[in-house]
Amino acid sequence: MQESGLKIGYTIGENTSGKFQFVISDESNIKKWEYVYLMIKGEIVIGRIEEVVSKSELMNENMDYQSIDRYSSNGLNDFVNICISTTLGKIKDGFLTQSREIVRPGMPVYPAGDDILQQIFSFDPEEALDIGSLPDNNVKVSLNVNGLRRHLAILAQTGAGKSHTASVIMEELLKKGASIIVLDPHADYVFMKKGVNGEIYSDGISVFRTPLSTGRYTNDDVGIVNNFTIRFSDLAPEDVKGIMDIKEGYTNLNSIVDDIYKRMKGRKDLADFLQTAESLPQEDYRKIRGRLAFLNKIKDIFQDYTTGITDYLGPGKMSVMDLSGMDQFLANYFSYRVLSSIYDVKLSSEFKYPVFVFIEEAHNFVPPRNNSNIARMIKKIAGEGRKFGIFLVVITQRPGKIDADVLSQCNSQIILRVTNPSDQNAILESSENITGYLMADLPSLDTGEAIIVGEIVKMPAIVKIRDRETRAGGSDIDVIGLLREAREEVRKRNDPSEVRKKTRDLLGEF
């Protein structure tokens, strides 16, 4: 980054109020993605360099190698370096507002210094979430917590840094006293209670797990784990139907369950329910037997306590729903229970604080045109949740495989590396904030570098997301280490002395 105030070039050629180009001096080392400014009628107009083009009139495509060689060794060089820049706006009272001023050729261009940039990328401390800095310099970038009111999508291919970014936002939200719920299918967030050095990071973070979750990590790995259980007798007949995947349209099965409840005379425990079912007419029993077997298979979740909203929702509280190892149907069911109870307490204003819901692998919960309970609930929150203070952070590596309405309800996006063209297209279609220039940068982003657009920033920015303060879960499998072990196993298998030892173990001394 260069010092502010020293002119680095002049605008040239054709310019519009949205885009200008300028020729830079040979000494300038300004790079793509850096910021510059022009002074127009006493106001600072900020631009961002989208492309740096170096070209020569003389040494063009029609010239052969020998001629170029001669020119070049004689120091005859007529190249020009041209920067193409988008106009981001003008600074007014510390804010960036739209600039409609014409950019004329011959205007001096200055590099935007850290002081100017810092002004643009900060917010009032009470609304600021500190998430990183501009690459190449020390300008800190904050997100505006208010911008989360209209939902956020974190999009990128696997390994680009989505979960890392989400964790950083969770850390920042916790500092603000937020209430956070995380749907975590791969146990990516279960270690966040601990800091990077193993110390306790926050007492407000809890991990919930059902007795059915085989889990990616054991309870001992994670530390204290709260069981997510249900008391069967707390369930309304409709809930039980939901768990048994009996949809509204299945009139036959619906009335069979109603019949069981009638025979049982009220809500009782699972054993009663299953036993009573056996007294059904043969034909009915046969029809529902498979569903009863399913209830029996998951019987461990039915304990004498129903985990409720007061267990997992509270100011300054973050509850990670560890869904790892559960099949998608049950994961959906639990997620639905959690989100619908949140929806209810927000709708009725029983809980007055804003709730931030992070959904990892969101494409699995709300695929396109899906009508499951959880998909409908997420669509409902995406559509009207902000009216009641429920804000979504949708995380996915498959932007083309998630319901398009949910994605387009996200007013802000954090996009990390994406190389697949169809995913890029899905992202482009999902938001009007994303320009072709920004899209072109997506494949070349480093891990942890993100393009941030929308209401959470004053202007689109490429940001290096900061380091985490909490411990990461779910890091990639150690392929190298495991292959080393595999080789050792092969060696043992083929080693004559090992083979003899094995035979001896089997047959005794020979």
Binding site for ligand ADP (CB under 6 A): 156, 158-164, 447-448, 465, 467, 472, 475
Of residues 24-43, which lie at the interface with Mg ion (CB under 5 A)? none
Kindly state the smallest distance separating residue 8's Cβ from Mg ion, in Å.
40
Q: Least Å distance between CB 86 and ligand ADP?
A: 25
- Alpha-carbon torsion (258, 263, 264, 266), positive or negative: positive
Toward ligand ADP, which CB reaches closer, 295 or 395? 395
Q: Tell me which residue has its CB nearest to Mg ion.
A: 163
Which of ligand ADP, Mg ion, none does 475 bind, CB closer than 5 to 8 A by kind? ligand ADP
Strand partners, 200: 194
Residues 6+ apart with CB under 8 A from 72: 59
Name the DSSP letter for residue 454.
S
In the complex, what is the shortest distance from the CB of residue 369 to ligand ADP, in angstroms, rounded to a whole number?
26
Contact 42, 24 (CB under 8 A): no
156 binds, among Mg ion, ligand ADP, none (CB under 5 to 8 A by kind): ligand ADP
Q: Cα-flanking dihedrals φ and ψ of residue 355, to 5°? A: -115, 130
C-alpha gyration radius of the chain: 30
Give min distance, CB of 393 to ligand ADP, in A: 13
Of residues 302 and 358, the one with the C-beta less far from Mg ion: 358
Which residue type sits at 113?
G
Cβ-based nearer residue to ligand ADP, 108 or 195:
195
Element (H, E) at 373: helix 373-380
CB 390 within 8 A of CB 343: yes
User: Minimum distance between the CB of residue 452 and ligand ADP, rounded to whole angstroms?
Assistant: 13
Task: Name residues contacting Mg ion, limited to 160-189 (CB under 5 A).
Answer: 162-163
> Is residue 112 a contact partner of residue 46, using CB atoms and an 8 Å limit?
yes
What is the nearest approach in angstroms of ligand ADP to the Cβ of residue 468? 7
Instruction: Write the binding mask 145 to 164 for Mg ion: x where contact by CB under 5 A, - elsewhere.
Output: -----------------xx-
Nearer to ligand ADP, 355 or 416 (CB): 416
- Write out the two tokens for 92: 């007014």
150's tokens: 């209209």
Farthest-apart Cα atoms in the chain, separation: 101
Residue nearest to ligand ADP (CB): 448
> Contact residues for Mg ion (CB under 5 A)?
162-163
